[in-house]
Chain A
């Protein structure tokens, strides 16, 4: 039988407790451990240089905020130019998508706009489009969609909703592009796909939420649906008449290299002109759109109707917290962030920059040792585990690229490679066992199974043992990690373990794991520093401790 699980007392890691020794957190600069935690949330992985920089910005009370402000001032690193440049070499959609994925890995590993790129990844997992669709034949649109998310990462959510809605990548993925008005004689109705998923996944969700993200229920214990089929049909009619932007007639619109990266255009002849039922909620301004409006007027009214729904703030805030900081935020944390979403302090609703800043500065994201519980933090998604490892070990290929085709085959995920609009994992996923039993969630656990864990672990084996800086004859496209520091420390296994723990775990390694890694190093003769270093590094990089973002 395989139904079994450990029991027995939980061993408290002395090192973990010591690492968060009490001090007045705000009146002193961030400790290296605190900086490590912060950068784990706000970037694709802490580096020694970035920890140095953050800890030199002064007291915590302003260092984090200053770091965030500096990051937000950096413009987006863009993917589309790299994909367009590749077109000179190959017109194959697969090759072009490879270029798109490669530039994602390069940006994640090297780009200066780390916070922006991290938030763009989070947004790409909420407002999902995927190469695994007709978008295979639209690599420019796919790259440009991601660039749109990067540009909008700290912008206005209402604007982002509109940009997403009118992007040909989304138009193609969820069928709003080319969606026509009804034709009752031929039993043709508008396509409901985008209408449904815009509400269900991108903005408000299926059921009414309290401002802290909790779900109110009626006497029978049932939640309150946010909309019904008639509302979906209303929005489906709103989203008619849009197509590629290059034509004078709907029927003549065509996909070109240019039109696939331009917002869709409204064509009146295919827009449904009747009235349209929208969402109803307390304080709603316009629950029904009048007939006879233009496609643009309907779009503005419909997006405003969604944007002002009370669900948007807790729905989006909670998901951004989940992506950046914690799988199981307290209700109070969600409520605090939702309040910022509703009003950034300047009277603006939907200021994503303010929301991201509030998420990262929140006391729950910056907990003291005493406030750290067994649900603090989250499991890292596999893609983040890889890139964090690369950043910690200064990974690079001689040709300067970060080539990693079809990472979803190894890691179960990749940039804009979700199997469906429901992302690689859903926000409410709870694996069987303790997490589900306790009413908790762990979305990233949906990508943890025997099959994927083995392939991820094997990937780390290859990277650590076969693609490190001692290997001189590897191809120029092979990404190599730098283990020179570890080899230099290999004569002193304690120092070696401390060094690895510092890079990968912010110094917090359990005595058990430290002991195992040290023993592994000592099984190798001191005359083989690379083998010593890599044996220890492998056990730590594949450990449950590195899999978790605390």
Chain B
């Protein structure tokens, strides 16, 4: 983060009227003065990241004659047969009938029972843009549209054109830190490696394995194992002469500090009756998240943001062959995780949402689709006002006013609105949302309304 954006960030964070303690000295209480006090309730956000850019125009598809015809004409050999789509009743459809992908009956059930909301045509934007403005380059755009890592970075950091390294969930943790001083574990937990999403300007995420925290072999409470562990800990806590050793030592120190604590805690988790597909990487991660949520009180957690990810969505080739498995996995995993939150009695406290690099092009490259821009995202939980489309599901027509070429659709809603809505539900004060979503003020409404407080 360069100094300008750091200043801006700090200013936004302190908009609540107080200074923000800054530094990284052990034991410092960070944000005691941000105006955020402790939380009496528990809330968790669970980000399901679909790596590669989910072809979300196949996730939810219009079934009405005219809209389906536009879709089928655009998609050609990638189009899903009209009668194969699973019909679903939704609100705010402008009279259009919709169906979900045939391999997603679980998603249909979540939608029909109003536990899932559809956020239509959302994507990275700095300010609203029309096709003419796009073509004439009169409105600032996120850099390198249609590129995987740049658009992923936009989704995860909301940095726009700033040099912002932190992720939006990391900044949520920063903003709420004053109210979370009792938490024994980081607010952000990633089960899928180092993601920009989870890293705050100040708060450090905890990164665990898909099935739990790994423990150190040969460490223990007695004898040689204890002595070995203590020596290892002293080495990890020592000072080093170069930045790389310092950073690495920090990770070593955190790893040994949290591994046993987390696993001992997880061992106390009740067995879940809800079944998760053990063959699914996504379901495996979500099952661990459910267990972490089940033991939240043992770690004094009142706010948690989990990051899980699954890949294979970059369907340039063999889209028709590969997509059913991907979407079936997504549908089943979201359904199982929702069921687990019901089982744990936290379905109102846990909101699960998808993010993905981008939507995909309406046009085909023969047997797959290409990188595009806007797409559909899903939000699941009992705080969700579900069964409804938020925003406007676009006409999937090549050459439409949203198509900037090749069936790449301009988003109608921005990732800033999406993140701000989730953040506000999570407890970020309205006057600090700019620190989470820096370009939020360019959009209206700032809350999309898909979550009840």
Contact = CB atoms under 8 A, between A and B. Distances in A.
Interface of A: 1-13, 16, 134, 174-175, 178-180, 186-193, 196, 200, 206, 222-223, 225, 229, 232-233, 327, 374-379, 412, 419-422, 426, 429-440, 442, 445-455, 457-458, 461-462, 465, 510, 512-513, 516, 519-520, 523-524, 535, 538-539, 542-545, 547-548, 550
Given A189-B363, A453-B251, A8 B239 contact: yes
Given A3-B24, A7-B26, A445-B247, A516 B252 contact: no
A544 B76 contact: no
B52 A462 contact: no
Closest 7 CB pairs of A and B: A449-B207, A5-B24, A191-B365, A454-B214, A544-B245, A450-B255, A544-B249
A2 B183 CA distance: 9
Nearest to B181: A1
Nearest to A460: B217
Determine chain A's interface SS by DSSP, over half rule.
loop
A174 B186 CA distance: 38
Nearest to A450: B255
Contacts of B28: 4
Given A3-B204, A5-B24, A191-B316, A547 B239 contact: no
B101 to A, nearest CB: 20
A453 B209 CA distance: 11
Contacts of A447: 194
SS class of chain B's interface: helix, strand, loop or mixed?
A: loop
A516 B227 CA distance: 10
Contacts of B180: 1
A420 B147 CA distance: 13
A189 B30 contact: no
Interface in B54-78: 73-77
A189 B249 contact: no
A448 B242 contact: no
Given A1-B183, A187-B363, A450-B206, A519 B371 contact: no
B311 interface: yes
Nearest to B370: A192
Contact of B165 (A4, A436, A550): A436
Nearest to A465: B218
B399 to A, nearest CB: 10
B261 to A, nearest CB: 10
B235 A454 contact: no
A6 B237 contact: yes
A412 B193 CA distance: 9
Interface in B345-401: 361-366, 368, 370-371, 398
B227 to A, nearest CB: 6
A519 B232 CA distance: 12
A438 B207 CA distance: 23
Given A3-B202, A192-B371, A548-B242, A450 B194 contact: no
Contacts of A520: 227-228, 231
Given A375-B243, A547-B248, A206 B147 contact: yes
B35 interface: no
Contacts of A439: 2
B239 A458 contact: no
Nearest to A547: B248
B238 interface: yes
A548 B244 contact: yes
8 contacts: A7-B24, A374-B242, A445-B194, A447-B194, A448-B251, A450-B258, A458-B214, A462-B217
B418 to A, nearest CB: 23
A249 to B, nearest CB: 16
Contacts of B231: 516, 519-520, 539
Contacts of A436: 1, 165
B216 A458 contact: yes
A192 to B, nearest CB: 5
Interface in B211-236: 213-218, 224, 227-228, 231-232, 234-236
A465 B219 CA distance: 13
A121 B311 CA distance: 24
A377 B250 CA distance: 18
Interface of B: 1-2, 24-30, 51-52, 73-77, 143-150, 161, 165-166, 170, 177, 180-181, 183, 185-186, 190, 193-194, 199-204, 206-209, 213-218, 224, 227-228, 231-232, 234-252, 254-259, 311, 314, 316-317, 361-366, 368, 370-371, 398, 405-407
Given A377-B242, A448-B248, A449-B207, A419 B363 contact: no
Given A433-B250, A548-B245, A187 B207 contact: no
A430 B366 CA distance: 38
A549 to B, nearest CB: 8
Contacts of A187: 73-76, 362-364, 398, 407
Contact of A453 (B24, B143, B255): B255
B227 A523 contact: yes
Contacts of A449: 190, 193-194, 207, 251, 255
A223 B143 CA distance: 9
A191 B251 contact: no
A6 B239 contact: yes
B235 to A, nearest CB: 5
Nearest to B167: A432
Contacts of B258: 2, 450
A8 B239 CA distance: 8
Contacts of A438: 243
A433 B170 CA distance: 13
Contacts of B232: 539, 542
B236 A426 contact: no
Contacts of B259: 450, 454
Contact of A4 (B25, B143, B148, B248): B25
Contacts of A448: 194, 247-248, 251
A442 B244 contact: yes
A374 B74 contact: no
A451 B369 CA distance: 35
B391 to A, nearest CB: 24
Contact of B30 (A1, A420, A426, A434): A1
A434 B317 CA distance: 42
B208 A5 contact: no
A513 B199 CA distance: 30
Contacts of B243: 374-375, 434-435, 438, 440, 442
A174 B246 CA distance: 38
Contacts of A375: 242-243
A539 B224 CA distance: 13
Contacts of A188: 76-77, 363-366
Nearest to B190: A449
Given A192-B370, A438-B243, A450-B208, A544 B213 contact: no
A13 B238 CA distance: 12
Contact of B240 (A134, A196, A455, A544): A544
Contact of A11 (B27, B239, B248): B239
**Residue with the highest number of chain A CB atoms closer than 10 Å, among B165, B365, B371:** B365
Contact of A376 (B74, B242, B366): B242
Contacts of B199: 431-432
A189 B244 CA distance: 46
Contacts of A512: 234-235, 238
Contacts of B405: 229
A539 B252 CA distance: 12
Contacts of B206: 2, 450
Contact of A379 (B215, B248, B366): B248
Contacts of A192: 365, 370-371
Contact of A458 (B150, B200, B217, B398): B217
